Homo-oligomer: A and B are copies of this chain.
Amino acid sequence: SNDIYTKGHPAGVTVGLAWTAVGGDILFIEASLSKGKGGLTLTGNLGNVMKESASTALSYLRAHCSDLGIDSARFDEQNVHVHVPEGAVPKDGPSAGITMLTSLASAFTGRRVRPYLAMTGEITLRGQVLPVGGIKEKILAARRAGIKDIIMCRQNEKDIDEINAQYLKGLRFHYVTDASEVLEVALAKK
């Protein structure tokens, strides 16, 4: 079955879109919190650029926590663990940046991520969303997996325009330029 949402996902889990040697794929970004001193653990066979994405997303979230009603003190009193299954597959690149941000924001607020939603886009420290590559392959993979909503950078709209309409049937696109828009679309009301 293509339905990855049969059971729903707990808060802290977001679907990202990846571009691999063998085509597009979906991946999950899992974030969880525990009592601690602000440590950040990153697992899932991640390269340095992808690890930096997580660090950047966390700094952005911390700087904008009051917008989401997160007490800033929690960033010093909790440890964050971000994991990307599947451990046997090396992963790298900045395109999971907004996906990481969404998982972090979901874990800190306890608000689940909207179902049937996937996303891809680089995040910068000030919250800009940057365009990424492999859009066509990612879209095909999202549809195969039963995804209905996709968030990406406004500058990637031109890549969607080049895709044959039949491959886009049933997909709704949310083009954004700022990280705050990502979270507005992605996080369910509590």
Contact of A122 among B12, B33, B87, B94 (CB under 8 A): B87
**Mask: chain A, 76-87; 1 = CB below 8 Å from B; 0 = not:** 100001110111
Contact of A34 among B41, B52, B59, B81 (CB under 8 A): B59
Q: What is the size category of the interface that chain A forms with chain B?
A: 35 or more
Contact in complex: B88, A126 (CB < 8 Å): no
Instruction: Name which residue of chain B comes closest to A65, CB basis.
Output: B34
Contact in complex: B10, A87 (CB < 8 Å): no
A20 close to B (CB within 8 Å): no
User: What is the minimal beta-carbon distance from A54 to any residue of chain B, in angstroms?
Assistant: 10
A144 close to B (CB within 8 Å): no
**Cβ contacts under 8 Å, A72 to chain B:** 34-35
**Of residues 2 to 61 in A, which have CB atoms within 8 Å of B's CB atoms?**
9-10, 12-13, 28, 30-35, 41, 43-45, 48-49, 52-53, 55-56, 59-60
User: What is the minimal beta-carbon distance from A152 to any residue of chain B, in angstroms?
Assistant: 15
A63 close to B (CB within 8 Å): yes
Contact in complex: A86, B122 (CB < 8 Å): yes
Given contacts A32-B63, A35-B72, A63-B34, contact A128 B52 (CB under 8 A): no
**Cβ contacts under 8 Å, A49 to chain B:** 45, 87-88
Q: Tell me the bound Cα distance from A184 to B41 in angstroms.
A: 27
Contact in complex: A126, B44 (CB < 8 Å): no
Contact of A62 among B30, B31, B34, B59 (CB under 8 A): B34
A93 close to B (CB within 8 Å): yes
User: What is the minimal beta-carbon distance from A9 to any residue of chain B, in angstroms?
Assistant: 7
Contact of A130 among B41, B86, B125 (CB under 8 A): B86
A75 close to B (CB within 8 Å): yes
**Cβ contacts under 8 Å, A53 to chain B:** 87
Closest 9 A/B residue pairs (Cβ): A87-B94, A83-B125, A43-B52, A30-B125, A85-B124, A59-B81, A49-B87, A30-B126, A34-B62
